[in-house]
Structures are given as C-alpha cells and as structure tokens.
C-alpha cells in the first residue's frame, strides 16, 4: 500500500477531482423539489502562455498519469474495504427511520416553516458531499504548522501516551476481550469533598482481573498538561504559579486531559455549565491543534524524505463531535471555542448568529429549570461543521473537511437514518476521537434513541474513499478498533439510567472511565425543599423471579390491583386525582385499561394532544366533571402547565427530573390556598421499585433512598 501516496486532508497533491452531480431534496409535502449541481473546479497554473507544443504534450501526459493513479487508488480502496468488511462484519442497519412523529421535539416555536427547514436541510446535504477543495493551499508553508513546542514530542503527554504508545499486540488483545465479553472493570472510589465522591474504573481482561488498579493521578492544575503555546497565550496560562481553575474545573481537568471517559453530574444551571464547557473547549482545541500540527510537521518530513512512513491520520478529517440539545446551547459552545482559540477571522459568523441566536423572553411564572432549558433559540435541528485553517475558523464547512462537528441528536439522526437510504451517511464519524454530550438530561425528553443511534454509527470503517492517504492511517483505525481510543464525555444535571447505560454499555476506552457521585442530604432533596406538609406515601413492588425487562409489567400489575382499587374505594376525595406518568408507552397502557376495564370518568392529556384537547380536559378536571386526569412527564417538561383542581396525586413512577416532583405536588398546595381542598386529607403516592434508586435519591436524599430500596417494609410515609 506504500507504493502510492494519495493526497490527504492537509497536503497538496494531485489536481482537483469533481463531477457534475444532480441532487433533489423532496419537501415534506411533496410539492417542491430543488435541484443543485456541483460545479467542477479546475485549477490551472500557467507559467508561460507561449509554451511550445512539447510542453503542452508533457502536461497532458502528466494529467493522464494522475487520472490513472486515481483509478488505481479507487481499486485499492475498494479491495481494502472488502477485506475489512469480511473481517469486521457490521450489524444490519435498520431500514426504516424510527417513528420520529411520536418521539420528536416539542417547542413553542412554529414548526411549519417549510421553506426555511428545506433550505437548511439542503445546506446540510451539500456539506455531506465529499469534495476536496483548495482552501488548504499554503498549509505546508504555514509558519505555525507543526510548531515545535516543548510539548510536541513529549512522551509523557497523554495525547501521545493514549493514542500512539499502545502497541498493536496490546490493542488487539483488548479488542478481542471486549468482543468476547472478557472485560471486567476494577474501580477505586475517593472523596472529593464531604458530599461528593468520584469513581475511577479501569478495564481488566479476566485473566488479569486480580491486577490492582493504580490510584489516579490527581494534579488539579491545567499547567500539569501539555497545552499548545498559542492556547497558553490566548487564555492567559503562561504563568505556572497561577491556577485559574474553578472548583468544578479542578475536578474535571485530570480525567479530561488524561483522555478518560467522563460522566459528570453538575449542580446548577448556567454557572456550572459555563465552567465545564470552558474546560472541554480548551481540551478540544488542544487536541485539534496537536493533531493538525503533527500531520503538517510529518508532511514536511515526507517532502524531505519520500520513503519516510508516519501513521498519524484516520479515515476522515473530523476528530471531535459535540452533541447539544438546542441551537442556543450550540451557539454558546461555538462562541466559547472561538473565544478560546483567539482567532479573529471567522467565516460566516453573521449567518451563524442569525440562525442560532435568538432573544426570547420566557414567562416569568415558569420555573428556573424551564428558563434554563428553553432560553434563546430552542430549535433542536442543526448540524454544523467547523474547520480550522492557518488564520481563520470556517463555519458551515463541508463535513469531510471539518475538524469539529456540532450537532443536535435529531439533526444528526436525520443524516444517519435518513428515510432515503441513498442519502444515509456515517463515514464522517469514522475517525472521531473526542465525543462530547452536553446536557444529556434535556436530550432525554427529546428522543433518547437518537443519542443511541449516534453510538451505533460512530467509529465504523467508511464505505467510500474520502481523499485518504492509506500509508498514513493508524493501524487501530484499519483494524476497526477506534472505539478503544475514543474519549466520551457526558455532562448532565442528574444521573439517569440512560446516562449510566451510555457510559457502561457504549464506551470502551482502554484508558478507563471516571464519574462523580453527589450525596443528597435530606434538606437538599425534593421533599426537604417542598415547603408543604402533605402526606407522601411510597409504595414498593418487587420483581419476584423476573428480569429487568419485566419491570413495566410488574408495575402495571401493581397499579391495577392496588392503586385503581384505592381510587374506587378512596377514603379521601372522590375527585381531583392526578396520575402522573413518565413514559408514553405506560401512559397508553394505563389509558386503555381505564377505558376498557373500569367505569372511572377520566380525562387524559399528553405531549401529542392538540391545544383544544388539552384545554378541554383541564377544564373538565377543574370543574370536577371527570374524576381522574392522566398527565405525562414530557408534556409537563415542555409546557409546565398549572393544573387546577388537584386534590390527590399518584406518581406512576418517580419523576425523572426531581424538580418535577415539587412542581406537581405544589398543585395541591395551590388548590388548598384557594380553599378547594383540605391539605390534611390530600395525599401523594409514588409507585417504585429497586430500579428507581437514582430518582428516589434526589427526591428524598441518599440515605433515605437506600432504606426505601433495601428495607423490609413495602410502604413508607413522609410528611
């Protein structure tokens, strides 16, 4: 494979390749089609217009040689892909797009802007075209290219020790162990402070299981890690005696810059988000600069010595994927990257501001969590490529020419699982080395399966050639082992089963993983901050002889046999019963049961109800014309309605967001304030199992939750 040297993403080589290609984007209504044609770009350098016929013939011969060489590259690549696919069989891709009509976003924005949506969709598809441009001209002459900072060739630098030092034998051994499920994690737990601890885990092959885990290296200083000199200058980090890191950043700097996987639970909206985001943007830029400078430096060496061999690239250029829930979050992330870089020339900055920034005044009556999640532009459909050149940052760059891709789960899902199979692509995710999921708690209320699909498509061997120099590709890319080297960082307001699943089930970083755990005191819990003395009962059901997948069936059985019976024979109020249901499938199951198996008069509102239905059912409930109202968690997340007439509450499952518990229980307090209910008669009941421990911990505190999940009693009462 070393017999030819195709052009790579950072060097100039052969002439431009292009082709006329017609594409059509079908509008959702099927009424319009837009056709675009990619123009062939031909770059000609004419040094002497009076060249004789011999020189012209020589030029033609060279062009013919280039064309022939390109054909050979294509044949070799096809052969390579065939071999790789035969060795690494991939699971069959889903033919149909998930039912996004049921699981997509809900916002207060008008979603019928067909022309605007179609224009942006067309732009995204344009950015998926794998066309080599000439924007990298002069890269090899960059004065800063491959800058020889002290840290560039430092073997103790985690950038080098994580990606370059593991041997092929070591990597193959770990890859086989993960494939055969022969990996077991060994952990160390240490205290950060009185109310917070962290858990550091390393993967161990079963035969080496007894090997002790080394204590993690904790320096809590950015100066302990090799930053590019330009970043030190731009961010005032030249003085090693000054440690400007905040408390949160001191917790994160070691696992982050050591390339460990991270699951971080932060405490406050706004300030905490700005702090961890500032640190990971610095880490992202440091990684991009080191990757780029090393490639440019090696390009220069290859020019001096054509026989030199360097393994310093992946299949495609993008190295960082940042997933955010809304455009407002994306806007903050990109601006932080620009700020940290210190680069003044930003292409298409005004366009970026127009599409991502929005001044919106949310109702002051809405809770702080609502204000934080839905501030600014809450549109959750976007994919943005960011490219770094010698003197500029180019926004809206072609994805295959980008260094960073910032996207929402929905935006990326529409590319990975496009209903048109011919438009599906995931090659641009083949060489991602840093993946960041920012504000996972918000994504869980959009469609968590979109996040899951990203993990299914990332770090796969590409199906097509994308100007790849095979002589420079690292062996762990060729061997389909990139997942072992990818660093995944997840930031969330609260730990959930989904967050743990992504860290434990979808990440295989050979360097290990790190997560924090906050101890919730009774005063910090939802019950402690409720400020309302109302009877609160927690009913546990056990999964006897069943598996985790049977949990919804046991919950439903308990609800129908215990809770429904208590509704019909209640010693409390006969009306004003609000049933809060977290999952839509559970909601459908309960609704059908009440409709078909009981005579209870009930209304129901969910995230897919139209406004007329919502208003009608709320009015009937307030007027006591229906006894029970079914209310879904996603509807509450997106609307935060004030439900009037609530006297009793049943939580079918503990709320995912602990703030929702207080918001819903306070419906009773507001109803009592108007004199429509006696708070001493009202009650709140929550159905739970041992699997709800994470949610219970935030509702009542860490120690109390342990008692509820492992205690002998099945019912516990608080007031």
Q: Please, what is the Cα angle at 260 between 258 and 266, to 5 degrees? A: 105
Does the reported pTM lie above 0.85? Answer: no
Contacts 24+ apart (CB under 8 A), 297-302: 297/145, 297/146, 297/148, 297/152, 298/146, 298/472, 299/8, 299/10, 299/11, 299/140, 299/146, 300/140, 300/145, 300/146, 302/5
Rounded-to-integer distance, Cα 124 and Cα 401, Å: 13
For range 34-47, the mean pLDDT: 36
For range 618-630, the mean pLDDT: 95
At what angle are helices 584-597 and 551-558 packed, to 10 degrees? 40
Residue 449 Rama label (left phi>0; alpha psi -120 to 50; beta): alpha
Rounded-to-integer distance, Cα 641 and Cα 635, Å: 8
β-strand 183-193 against 196-205: which pairing, if any? antiparallel
The CATH code of the domain at 526-718 is: 3.40.50.300
pLDDT at 513 over 80: yes
Give me the residue label for tokens 């830029």: 285
Q: 125 or 594: whose pLDDT is higher?
A: 594
For range 611-623, the mean pLDDT: 96
Pick the range with the lowest mean pLDDT from 54-63, 128-137, 633-642, 683-692.
Answer: 54-63
Cβ neighbors of 456 (< 8 A, separation 6 or more) are: 91
Percent of the chain with pLDDT over 90: 66
Q: How does pLDDT run across 568-613, given as a tens digit for each residue? A: 776 567 789 999 999 999 999 999 999 999 999 999 999 999 999 9
- Residue 16: per-residue pLDDT: 36
Q: Please, what is the Cα angle at 254 between 256 and 287, to 5 degrees? A: 40
Rounded-to-integer distance, Cα 43 and Cα 551, Å: 64
pLDDT at 151 over 90: no
pLDDT at 67 over 60: no
* Sign for the pseudo-dihedral over CA of 655, 657, 662, 667: negative
Q: Where in the chain do CATH 3.40.50.300 domains reside?
A: 218-305+320-518, 526-718
- Residue 215: per-residue pLDDT: 82
- Residue 196: per-residue pLDDT: 94
Q: How does pLDDT run across 523-548, given as a tens digit for each residue? A: 999 999 998 999 999 999 998 877 88
- Residue 570: per-residue pLDDT: 62
pLDDT at 34 over 50: no
Q: Tell me the CA distances in angstroms from 525 to 498, 684, 714, one per residue in order.
A: 21, 16, 21
Instruction: Identify the DSSP state of 373.
Output: H
- Residue 102: per-residue pLDDT: 40
pLDDT at 630 over 70: yes
Percent of the chain with pLDDT over 70: 79
413, burial (CB in 10 Å: exposed 0-12, middle 13-18, buried 19+):
buried
Strand boundaries in 13-99, DSSP class E: 22-26, 33-37
- Residue 213: per-residue pLDDT: 81
Q: 129 or 435: whose pLDDT is higher?
A: 435
Q: How does pLDDT run across 428-440, given as a tens digit for each residue? A: 999 999 999 999 9
pLDDT at 181 over 80: yes
pLDDT at 105 over 60: no
Architecture of the domain delimited by 218-305+320-518: 3-Layer(aba) Sandwich (3.40)
Strand boundaries in 553-691, DSSP class E: 577-581, 602-605, 628-632, 648-651, 683-688
Rounded-to-integer distance, Cα 676 and Cα 567, Å: 19
Contacts 24+ apart (CB under 8 A), 154-158: 154/226, 157/225, 157/226, 158/225, 158/257, 158/258, 158/259
387, burial (CB in 10 Å: exposed 0-12, middle 13-18, buried 19+):
buried
Mean residue pLDDT across the chain:
83
């Amino acid at each position: 494979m070393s017999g030819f040297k195709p052009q790579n993403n950072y060097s100039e080589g052969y002439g431009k390749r292009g082709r006329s290609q017609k594409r059509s984007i079908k509008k959702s209504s099927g009424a319009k089609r837009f056709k675009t044609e990619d123009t062939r770009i031909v770059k000609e350098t004419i040094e002497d217009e009076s060249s004789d016929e011999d020189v012209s013939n020589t030029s033609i011969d060279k062009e013919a040689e280039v064309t022939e060489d390109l054909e050979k590259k294509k044949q070799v690549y096809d052969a390579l892909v065939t071999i790789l696919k035969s060795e690494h069989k991939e699971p069959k891709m889903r033919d149909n797009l998930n039912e996004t009509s049921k699981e997509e976003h809900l916002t207060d924005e008008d979603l019928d802007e067909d022309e605007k949506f179609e224009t942006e969709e067309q732009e995204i598809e344009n950015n998926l075209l794998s066309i080599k441009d000439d924007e990298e001209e002069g890269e090899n002459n960059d004065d800063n290219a491959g800058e020889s900072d002290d840290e560039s060739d430092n073997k103790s630098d985690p950038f080098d020790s994580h990606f370059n030092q593991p041997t092929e034998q070591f990597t193959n051994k770990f890859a086989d162990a993960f494939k055969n499920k022969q990996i077991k994690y060994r952990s160390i737990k240490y205290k950060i402070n009185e109310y917070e601890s962290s858990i550091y885990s390393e993967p161990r092959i079963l035969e080496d299981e007894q090997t002790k885990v080394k204590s993690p290296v904790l320096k809590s200083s950015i100066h302990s890690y090799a930053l590019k000199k330009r970043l030190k200058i731009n961010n005032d980090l030249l003085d090693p005696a000054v440690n400007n890191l905040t408390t949160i950043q001191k917790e994160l700097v070691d696992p982050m810059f050591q390339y460990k996987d991270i699951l971080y639970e932060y405490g406050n909206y706004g300030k905490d988000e700005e702090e961890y985001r500032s640190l990971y943007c610095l880490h992202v830029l440091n990684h991009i600069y080191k990757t780029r400078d090393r490639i440019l430096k090696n390009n220069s060496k290859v020019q001096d010595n054509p026989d030199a061999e360097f393994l310093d690239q992946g299949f495609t250029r993008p190295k960082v994927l940042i997933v955010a829930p809304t455009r407002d979050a994306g806007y903050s992330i990109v601006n932080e990257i620009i700020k940290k870089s210190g680069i003044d020339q930003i292409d298409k900055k005004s366009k970026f501001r127009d599409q991502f920034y929005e001044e919106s005044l949310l109702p002051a009556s809405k809770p702080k969590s609502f204000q934080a999640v839905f501030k600014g532009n809450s549109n959750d459909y976007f994919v943005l490529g960011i490219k770094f050149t010698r003197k500029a940052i180019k926004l809206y760059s072609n994805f295959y020419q980008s260094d960073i891709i910032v996207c929402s789960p929905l935006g990326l899902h529409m590319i990975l699982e496009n209903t048109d199979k011919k438009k599906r692509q995931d090659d641009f995710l083949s060489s991602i080395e840093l993946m960041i999921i920012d504000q996972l708690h918000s994504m869980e209320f959009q469609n968590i399966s979109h996040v899951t699909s990203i993990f299914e498509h990332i770090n796969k061997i590409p199906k097509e050639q994308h100007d790849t120099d095979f002589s420079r590709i690292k062996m762990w890319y060729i061997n389909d082992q990139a997942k072992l080297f990818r660093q995944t960082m997840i930031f969330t307001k609260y730990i959930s089963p989904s967050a743990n699943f992504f860290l434990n089930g979808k990440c295989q970083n050979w360097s290990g993983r790190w997560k924090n755990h906050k101890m919730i005191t009774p005063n910090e819990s939802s019950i402690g901050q409720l400020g309302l003395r109302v009877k609160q009962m927690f009913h546990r059901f056990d999964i006897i002889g069943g598996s985790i997948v049977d949990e919804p069936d046991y919950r439903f059985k308990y609800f129908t046999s215990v809770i429904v019976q208590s509704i019909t024979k209640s010693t409390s109020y006969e009306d004003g019963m609000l049933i809060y249901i977290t999952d839509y499938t559970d909601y459908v199951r309960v609704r059908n049961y009440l409709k078909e198996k009981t005579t209870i008069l009930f209304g129901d509102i969910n995230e897919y109800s139209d406004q007329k239905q919502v208003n009608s059912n709320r009015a009937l409930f307030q007027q006591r014309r229906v006894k029970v109202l079914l209310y879904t968690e996603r509807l509450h997340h997106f609307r935060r309605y004030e439900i009037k007439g609530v006297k009793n509450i049943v939580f079918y499952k503990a709320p995912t967001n602990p703030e929702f518990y207080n918001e819903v229980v306070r419906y009773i307090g507001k109803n009592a304030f108007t004199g429509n209910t006696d708070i001493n008669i009202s009650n709140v009941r929550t159905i739970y199992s041992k699997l709800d421990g994470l949610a219970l911990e935030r509702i009542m505190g860490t120690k109390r939750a342990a008692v509820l999940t492992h205690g002998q009693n099945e019912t516990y009462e608080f007031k």
